[in-house]
Amino acid sequence: MAQLKLLCFFALFLTVTHLFITGVQSSATFTMVNKCQQTIWPGLLSNAGIAPLSTTGFVLQKGESKTINVPSSWGGRFWARTHCTEDSTGKFTCATGDCGSGKLECNGGNAAPPATLAEFTLDGSGGMDFFDVSLVDGYNLPMLVVPQGGSGNNCTSTGCVVDLNGACPSELKVTSVGGENVACKSACEAFRQDEYCCAGAYNSPSICKPSSYSMLFKKACPSAYSFAYDDKTSTFTCTGANYLITFCPSPNTSQKSSSTGGQNQNEEPEDNNQSNNNVPSTINGSMVYDGAWDVSSASSTTCMHVLRSPAMAGSIAFLTGIWQLRHLF
């Protein structure tokens, strides 16, 4: 019995310690998956005044994925660079989404438009995460953002799963050296006029209205930002979520919940052939961690009895108090 008490206390201690440490170091994980038929080079940029992440750019071969930890209160954007090359001097450049660093890492460089963007502000107003997929700077690849295990009335997936490069008007098209349609500019980028950019005299939501070009984007991708003042239908919120960002998701995706009681738009179905161990398993959108202890029902009952003892209750209160205090500092 004494050994079981010790085991129960140790399990509790590890759990609370894990919560404390992970709460300080990381508030979310972002998993990026490349389902395109080509290699892509994701870029990452933190908002002004926010420290850069551990990586600001990397390569994802077809079918690969990568998970990164993101600290609390982080804000920034993710995108994919395409058709990248390195010249004889080692300078790295991309046909779309280039960040101007001349290297694989963007090092604070932003995506050159046109590029499909996933934008995040974590732990914002009310402790909620705010996120969107934006075509305001144009489009280069389909993208889907799916919250994993979060909660909230508007905690649902968003993105643009349609290939807009083929349907792009000729005046907005960006083509590669070989003549391939690789991106679609926004009207603002293409024409540099205030009415398309919501600038100057048009810098107001009551004056700047959707253009025929932004409406083309909106019709194809209803949940994505199509112009600067497209907030009402394009901003999503979650609490306590991790995020799966899929480049080139299948357009015929099913709709299912990523969290109990919620429904996602265009959620990417689970790929049972995904071999990368960095992608966390989920059941009904909740995180499942491999290697958890398997405790028999008899042991569980005994542990619950032990945890109800006054000494153990005091220990629980102490450890829980420490964990909660980290939110104050």
Contact by Cβ (8 Å): 43, 74: no
Question: The tokens 């979310």 sit on which residue?
Answer: 28
Q: What are phi and psi of 42, to 5 degrees?
A: -60, 145
User: What's the pLDDT at 265?
Assistant: 40
Mean pLDDT for each consecutive 10-residue tract of the chain (329 residues)? 50 45 62 97 97 97 97 96 96 97 98 98 95 97 96 95 95 92 97 96 95 96 94 92 96 39 41 36 28 32 39 46 45
> Hey, is 34 helix, strand or coil?
strand
Q: How many CB atoms lie within 10 A of CB 282?
A: 16
Token pair for 319: 């450890």
Buried b (16+ CB within 10 A) or exposed e, 36-68: beebbbbbbbbeeeeeebeebbbebeeebbbbb
User: What's the pLDDT at 76?
Assistant: 98
Apex 127 CA angle, 54 and 238, nearest 5: 80
Q: What are phi and psi of 54, to 5 degrees?
A: -65, -25
DSSP secondary structure letter of residue 146: E
Contact by Cβ (8 Å): 322, 20: yes
Give first-to-last CA distance, the chain, whole Å.
39
Q: How many CB atoms lie within 10 A of CB 101?
A: 17
Residues 6+ apart with CB under 8 A from 293: 11
Token pair for 139: 């489009």
Sign of the dihedral defined by the CA atoms of residues 299, 305, 308, 314, in that order? negative
User: Cα(79)–Cα(95) distance, rounded to whole angstroms?
Assistant: 13
User: What's the pLDDT at 252?
Assistant: 43
Instruction: Please report the DSSP string for 129-142 in residue order.
Output: EEEEEE-TT-BSS-
Q: What are phi and psi of 183, to 5 degrees?
A: -165, 165
Contact by Cβ (8 Å): 244, 259: no
Domain boundaries, the chain: 26-251
User: Cα(53)–Cα(157) distance, rounded to whole angstroms?
Assistant: 23
User: What's the pLDDT at 2?
Assistant: 56
User: Cα(152)–Cα(233) distance, rounded to whole angstroms?
Assistant: 16
User: Cα(209)–Cα(229) distance, rounded to whole angstroms?
Assistant: 8
User: Cα(246)–Cα(253) distance, rounded to whole angstroms?
Assistant: 12
User: Cα(158)–Cα(57) distance, rounded to whole angstroms?
Assistant: 23
- CATH superfamily of the domain spanning 26-251: Thaumatin (2.60.110.10)
User: What's the pLDDT at 69?
Assistant: 96
User: What's the pLDDT at 3?
Assistant: 53
